[in-house]
Amino acid sequence: MSAKEVVKAFYESDVANDATLVSRLFHKDCELHWTGSQGFVLYDYKGVEGFFEGTRQSYNSLRFEFTHFMEVNDTVVTRHTIYGRTIEHSDDETILAHVSSIWEIKDGKIFRCYEISQQADESNEASMKSYKEIKL
């Protein structure tokens, strides 16, 4: 699989429910460098497993809407918005975050990810749409 196909397989999997996600797609020596609303976090393979275990306990589904998805050699860059349905409110999809990620692939698996996320809500989305309309 190409680097883009590996990252695409991650986003197209059932991230909120697939207990095999990490073992199938992440390299044993992986690192996830994430800067978000809680500051910087560095996850190794065990940390990534724990993160997605928490995700499975909180969400029924996650959906990703992309503005950018680019590949150069073994590196993929994505920019997207994440939407989720929580276990408590499975009928309501909520906008969760805007994310930019740089994925490095090694041996056909996710080896490194450098990610920056910004918490989002419906008002962020509305203001972005109006900003885009003004810019055009």
Domains of the chain and CATH, by start: 3-135 (3.10.450.50)
Does the structure show a pLDDT above 90 at 63?
Answer: yes
Closest-CA residue to 81 (of 121, 24, 26, 132): 121
Residue 125: the pLDDT is 53
Average pLDDT over residues 59-77: 96
Q: Rounded to two decimals, what is the model's pTM?
A: 0.84
* pLDDT over 60 (residue 94): yes
* Mean pLDDT value across residues 68-97: 95
d(CA 50, CA 53): 5
Task: Using the predicted structure, report yes or no on whether residue 127 has a pLDDT greater than 50.
Answer: no
With a cut of 80, say whether residue 71 has pLDDT above it: yes
Place of tokens 């041996």: 107
Number of Cβ atoms within 10 Å of the Cβ of 56? 16
